[in-house]
Amino acid sequence: MPSSLRFCVVALTLGLTCLTAHAFAKKPIELWSFFYFNGTAFVAGRPEPLSPFVAVRDGFVPVVETREERIKEVKLHEGTGALVGICYVQSYGGKLKPARGFHPVPMQEIAITAADGQSAIPVQTDGNGYFVSELPAGSYRVGNQQVEVRVDNGKTNFIPVRVGKRMVD
């Protein structure tokens, strides 16, 4: 085989290998959906840079992140779903700030109780006020207000837990 033909085959093989590696490196992040808390509910999309958001993918444990990099993929156990929430204090008013806002409550313990009342699962919020819990499929009551939420197999549900209201001048 002539050396120029050999060089072309090696160059083509190297190029295809690089393109394939690049495609596989990008693909997993594109399979995830992103949500952030806007002060009243979780909404789809990406928040401001360095603001916390939740990456969600069916069949995987949701991930709370502040930057968009490679997401650590951990599969949900068979027969379980995920519950993602934020614990926050609602804020109203203020002359120097917008009238609508919230303050996350870090390191707050939240009780998740099975609907039958048999078992309680305590979870703790992270530094941004978020919590993630993998639960068997079923109905649960969350927080002191006992808000009812349904967890489905392989799916993720969102729940905001308001623990207070702050009125500002």
pLDDT in tens, 4-60: 767 666 666 766 565 555 555 544 556 889 999 998 899 999 888 888 999 999 999
Integer angstrom CA distances of residue 93 from 44, 161, 168: 26, 20, 5
Integer angstrom CA distances of residue 59 from 41, 73, 76, 80, 99: 23, 10, 5, 9, 38
Q: Which of 13-27, 43-57, 85-99, 144-158 has the lowest mean pLDDT?
A: 13-27
How many C-beta neighbours within 10 Å does residue 159 have?
Answer: 20
- Give Cβ neighbours of residue 98 (< 8 Å, ≥ 6 apart): none
pLDDT at 102: 87
pLDDT at 96: 54
- For residue 72, pLDDT over 60 is answered with yes
Fold of 31-168: Immunoglobulin-like (2.60.40)
**Residue 103 contacts residue 167 (beta carbons within 8 Å):** no
Q: Which of 30-34, 68-72, 78-82, 120-124 has the lowest mean pLDDT?
A: 68-72
The rounded distance, in Å, linking the Cα atoms of 86 and 160 is 5
Of residues 138 and 70, the one with the higher pLDDT is: 138
Q: Which of 38-42, 45-49, 85-89, 92-96 has the lowest mean pLDDT?
A: 92-96
Query: For residue 117, how many C-alpha atoms fall within 13 Å in the half-sphere facing its CB?
Result: 0
pLDDT at 147: 87
The rounded distance, in Å, linking the Cα atoms of 50 and 96 is 23
Domain boundaries, given as residue ranges, for the chain: 1-30, 31-168
pLDDT at 2: 72
Q: What tens digit of pLDDT does each residue of 25-36 get?
A: 544 556 889 999
